[in-house]
Amino acid sequence: MNAPARVLIVAHGHPELCAGGGEVAAWNQHRALNACDDFTSVFLARHDDPARLHGGTPFSGTGRANEILFHATMPDWFRFSQPDSALVWRDFRDALDTVRPDIVHFHHYVHLGLELIREVKNCNPDTPVLLTLHEYFAMCHNHGQMMKRHEDVPCERATAMDCSRCFPEHSPQDFALREGFIKSHLDLVDRFIAPSRFLAGRYVDWGIDASRIEVIENLLPPQEIHTGTSRANGAARERDDAPLRFGFFGQINHFKGVELLLEAACLLPGSMRQRCRFDIHGSGLERQSRGLRERVRAHADELGDRVRLHGSYRPADIGAMMGGTDWMVMPSRWWENSPVVILEARRAGLPVLAADIGGMAEKIDDGVTGLHFRVNDAASLAGRLREAIEGGEPMRHAFAQRMAATGDGQADLERHLDLHRAFADGRAGTAGITALRPAA
Amino acid sequence: MSQRTRPGRRLLHVLRRRIGEKRLARYRRRTVALGTRLATRAIRLRRRLARRPALRLERAVRLDDTSGVRVVHGTLDPDGHGFRTLEAIARDGTARDLAAALHRWPATPRPLGASNLCERFAVRLDVGDENGLRLVDRGGRSCTRRLPTASAGDPFARIRALLEPLHRVAGKRALHERVLGPAIERVMASRTPDRSASASAWNAELASATPGTTLIIPIHGRDDFIEHQLARFANDAELLGQDILYVIDDPRLHARVHASAERLARLYRVPFRTLYLARNLGYAGANNVGADHARGRYLLLLNSDVMPIDPGWLGRLHASAGERLDDALIGARLLYEDGTVQHDGMRFFRSPFHEGLWLNLHPGKGLPEALFDTSSAALPREAVTGACLLIARHRWEQLGGLDERYVIGDFEDSDLCLKARAAGMQVLLCPSARLFHLERQSQALEGGGGWREELTWYNGWRHAGRWHDALSAIETGRVTAGTRARAPDTARARA
């Protein structure tokens, strides 16, 4: 390859303006590609703050030469269809004409509209389109979480009939139409990237051909931007008799299960509680339902000085915070796909107590790099906490070393670059879109 | 029903026993249905007998006092017989059919008491002594209304009063084609504004006897940009040899600009002139009068909210055209404060949101500048903005300057570009002349709502009417060339 290939990364948000796992993964991808000589990447992120809007265009800048803010809203969370079609055929087309990408890599279609994928092919059927899958939005109308809406249990499979049971306001026919519409756009994608085998499996079950999905982990930001020193390679703690520190990292909401962790902590006998501490890092409690807030408060009161609610944190500080933690707890009630905090924990050499489903179970080997507990089961989690406390420092140290040995993401980066290279120099063909080519 | 009264109840009770509950209910239903039918018939009959067309005038705007052109709108209701004609009645009683100057559209919601044939209408009257309107229906019945006479204010206030209530009309294009367009055009054509102006020269001792370029910078509403521009001009040696002409198109600002010029001339050692217009002439008029006072061989139209980024831009603008300088109209690349492009040339666009009306698009607007061509040579474009535009003075005079018949700053620049193309000149953009453009909010093309949106319709209608063939030819050329309209002949180097 002579000239670097141009990649356009399309994301549903800019992490500096609206933090979320998918947005961060997209931005990291953009920066990783730009750091490689074979690529130049342009980051197009959806945004909706009118203060940054110019007149007569939905585009504005962030001040960086290769970043674009795209002011779009997409209220159709059923079909993910962009209601303002001119945003697609006039404005997004204009961006494509200007960037002239060799590859377009979507990190989402929510907030933007599935039609953007089609517009890439309308513009040039030979431009490869990649799509990184972040949740289960395409198949699940319940915020893409694959959770039963009313029973609050993980859902195994999306079918028109079952989905209509969750959402009686939409008939099974509506769901069948929805699936067909979404697939008509996803059919144009040349390669899907799933950050976990579990997530890929779900999409295969849903009807995406397995050969079109690559399983590659999301990327972390380059290490040097982290503040503080993380305790890499599972270095031992300074004092063995200090209380064992369990950390929770993430949004505080129902799905992330922080309440379950506190409940499990309350189940520990008093003597054992004295030998550990719980640090909750993350914000969002004030936005939760009153019931959840009260339960979290009640548990926190009961645990007294054993629990600390630290509030929100800057993403760059996570390494330092993990350095001050002995075990991470991941009590999510939903499947997760590939949690960023687990990647961070790998880099920090931090063992994880994780629920035994989905992406968490896949990324954490039970008894090797962490311990599994039954999802949604405080007693099971309490049992595992107990094991960890009783195992003390020797057990933690062994787990931490194995966790640190799982890699720092360099191999994942190489695989991402290889995939993009394959599409850039045409080794991986764009298939299955003959319908969009003009007749010869 | 008499069910609620005592005797009625007693009667019902008796009947119920005699003929049974079911039959009784059936009889009651039939009775009610029969009553309703009879009542409806009676009402219709009464209406039919009394049916007359109705004409209601909501607003009659006399657009100016010399030509007497008027636009009237309101509702007409030919009731059951259907619409035949709307006529203008002159003082001597003669009637004239207004079909060619009439636009009708559905009245939704319908006024109280109106028939389902009721419509809203707008009509244009050109003849001064016509003082009445008559609606005639198919049955030959008619309704006549006298037109109100008074309308006050300057032409722009009257145009605004005319356009504002017509904001949500269906079929805008036909409305402008038949009614509003010719009316406003006639007003704009019959204007003979006072073009007198007085000039002051500042730092005249520094001025060149033979300036290369006259920078024409109209000032309206805000004058603080002058200081910002002078501060930047002062740091650019090239600007010292030019003729910088601020055209104060806002009588309210004269005293203030004059006072601040005294001060600024001492701080910034740049020769410049201020030209005070006796009346507000609008964007096109201000530039035209400015050009009349110009001394340079070239003219640079410059908005007051356009700020140079680095020195040397004017030289690059000149140099970019090379041999073609005197046969070209050259625009600059304008940027937003966040480093994205505001203007990199314009492209004509048949807007589906304006019933196929031609509008000017800014391709690439809002995208980072790093994604655009870098070239020291000027590149061809369909049109360029007048916010920063270079042209040889003799060419400007040959083209007749900017068209002053557009209302309040819209389309004059693309009109100039189309005139230039018709005269065999090239329209170019110089990517290496980079300036910031604050792009005032008043320049909103789409959205913004209200009467500005209506003005876009009028100006766009006039623009498309004058240049339909040229615009179609450009579009055809675009399709047959099979390339992108912007920078069709430059291969973008992959950075």
- Residue A31 tokens, joined: 């920066």
A99 contacts B365? CB cut-off 8 A: no
One domain for residues B209 and B178: no
**A319, A230 Cβ separation under 8 angstroms:** yes
What ipTM does the predicted assembly reach?
A: 0.74
**A260, A376 Cβ separation under 8 angstroms:** yes
**B173, B355 Cβ separation under 8 angstroms:** yes
Q: Which residues pair with B106 in a beta bridge?
A: B119
- Residue A144 tokens, joined: 């893409």
Is B459 within the bounds of a domain?
yes
How distant, in Å, are the alpha carbons of A389, B239, B360 from that of B485?
69, 34, 13
3-state SS, residue A85: helix
Q: Would you say residue B469 has pLDDT above 60?
A: yes
Check residue A436 and give its pLDDT: 41
**A288, A305 Cβ separation under 8 angstroms:** no
Check residue A240 and give its pLDDT: 63
One CATH from 3.40.190.10, 3.10.450.230, 3.40.50.2000, 3.40.50.800 for A225-404: 3.40.50.2000
Domain boundaries, chain A: 5-219+410-436, 225-404
Check residue B159 and give its pLDDT: 85
Q: Of B133, B157, B190, which one is at a domain's C-terminal end?
A: B190
Q: Which residues pair with A44 in a beta bridge?
A: A10, A68
Name residue B209's amino acid: A
How distant, in Å, are the alpha carbons of A60, A118, A219 from that of A41?
17, 20, 15
Residue B322: CB atoms within 10 Å: 11
Work out how many domains chain B is built from and give that number.
Answer: 2
Chain B residues touching A56 at Cβ < 8 A: 362, 365, 444-446
**A45, A13 Cβ separation under 8 angstroms:** yes
Q: Report the chain B residue with the minimal C-alpha distance to residue A71.
A: B366
Check residue A223 and give its pLDDT: 66
Check residue A225 and give its pLDDT: 46
Rounded CA-CA distance A334/A352 in Å is 17
Parallel/antiparallel/unpaired status of strands B213-219 and B243-248: parallel
CATH number at residue B160: 2.60.40
Check residue B150 and give its pLDDT: 65
Is B361 within the bounds of a domain?
yes
Confidence of residue B1 (pLDDT cuts 50, 70, 90): very low
Q: Would you say residue B491 has pLDDT above 50?
A: no
B336 contacts A60? CB cut-off 8 A: yes
Q: Which domain holds residue B236?
A: 197-481
One domain for residues B286 and B178: no
Q: Report the chain B residue with the minimal C-alpha distance to residue A3.
A: B494
Q: Would you say residue A230 has pLDDT above 80?
A: no
B368 contacts A68? CB cut-off 8 A: yes
**B230, B215 Cβ separation under 8 angstroms:** no
- Residue B42 tokens, joined: 């009676």
Average pLDDT of span B203-224? 94
Q: Between B166 and B305, where is the model more confident?
A: B305
B353 contacts A68? CB cut-off 8 A: no
Q: Of B136, B163, B190, which one is at a domain's C-terminal end?
A: B190
Average pLDDT of span A347-366? 93
Tokens 């859902």 appear where? A155
Q: Of B172, B190, B208, which one is at a domain's C-terminal end?
A: B190
Determine the distance from the C-alpha atom of residue B293 to the mean position of all C-alpha atoms in its chain, rounded to a whole number: 29
Radius of gyration of chain B (CA): 32
Rounded CA-CA distance A412/A417 in Å is 9
Q: Which residue in the set B336, B371, B486 is minimally distant from A54, CB to CB?
A: B336
For chain A, percent of residues with pLDDT exceeding 70: 92
Q: Which residues pair with A147 in a beta bridge?
A: A154
Rounded CA-CA distance B37/B47 in Å is 15
Residues 6+ apart with CB under 8 A from A105: A7, A8, A9, A10, A29, A129, A130, A131, A132, A420
CATH class of the domain whose range is A5-219+410-436: alpha beta
Chain A residues touching B439 at Cβ < 8 A: 54-55
Average pLDDT of span B376-391? 96
Ranges A146-150, A272-276, B158-162: which has the least confidence: B158-162
Is B413 within the bounds of a domain?
yes
